[in-house]
Amino acid sequence: MKWESRKAAVAAYRERKVEAGIYAVRCKACDQIWVGSAPDLSTIQNRIWFTLRQGRNPHKSLQEAWAAHGSEAFTFEVVARLPDSDDDPGYIQSAILKSLHAEWVEKLNGVRI
């Protein structure tokens, strides 16, 4: 019985709708914004917060701000979602995401991550 529920959970995870887009990490204490892109918005915050807690985030300024101000000073928000298009090949979606990322970095006057 336990095996069947695990198998069903794995199948549901694989069939879920993946949404790509742009996100912003904001630090209220230092009034700084980091802007990133992700092919799967549902998993990116957990990944970023995990690396920050471990002191292993590759973005030095973000890691330094986290160390200085703590997790309470940070928020995560999705600022743009890619239009749903199953017809676009991966390289087209990647190009659109890259362009959208650059726009949001400029719009928010943020640091690109």
Average pLDDT over residues 24-37: 97
Note the CATH number of domain 18-112: 3.40.1440.10
Judged against a pLDDT cut of 70, whether residue 85 lies above it is answered with no
DSSP per-residue letters across 12-42: HHHHSPP--EEEEEEETTTTEEEEEEES-HH
For the chain, how many residues are written? 113
Does the pLDDT value for residue 23 go beyond 80? yes
Model confidence pLDDT, tens digit, residues 41-83: 999 999 999 999 999 999 999 999 999 999 999 999 999 998 7
All structural domains of the chain with their residue ranges: 18-112
| Percentage, residues of the chain above pLDDT 70 | 94
The answer to whether the CB of 37 falls within 8 A of the CB of 90 is no
Q: What are phi and psi of 112, to 5 degrees?
A: -75, 125
